[in-house]
Amino acid sequence: MYDKVRGFLKKAELWRGVYPHGNFTCFPHVDYFLSYVDVNRAPANSIIVGHLTNLIPDFHSYFPDLEKKSAQLDWVRDPFLLSETNRSKLPITDQEELLQVSSDRGL
């Protein structure tokens, strides 16, 4: 989940950077609407950029330790990448099992 949130935040930063230039292609429905309806784009630009500007810090407040939590969960993505510190915290039987599984080329 933390990877998804981090990815979304990066996209939100990108969107915030391109909207002041009138590029709405990131949101096809908004782009379509603004292309086919005779409206002034400046207010829409301002509202969208303001929303994204407020949204990014809000996400950081909901996930204040995003980088730390993501790094702590790296073992879920690949349990064989445990650091020595974390590996030494495992009971010896779990360490043995981890070594056995990591050496099994059939998996």
Q: Return the domain boundaries, the chain.
A: 2-70, 75-103
Output 71 or 21, whichever has higher pLDDT. Answer: 21
Q: How far apart, in whole angstroms, are the C-alpha atoms of residue 47 and residue 53? A: 10
pLDDT number for residue 102:
76
CA distance 17 to 1: 25
Distances (CA, A) of 51 to 47, 81, 96, 106: 6, 39, 51, 51
Torsion angles phi and psi, residue 51, rounded to 5:
-65, -45
% of the chain with per-residue pLDDT over 70: 87
Residue 19 confidence (pLDDT): 77
Residues 28-67 have pLDDT tens digits of 898 888 888 888 878 888 888 899 899 999 988 988 887 7
pLDDT for residue 78 is more than 80: no
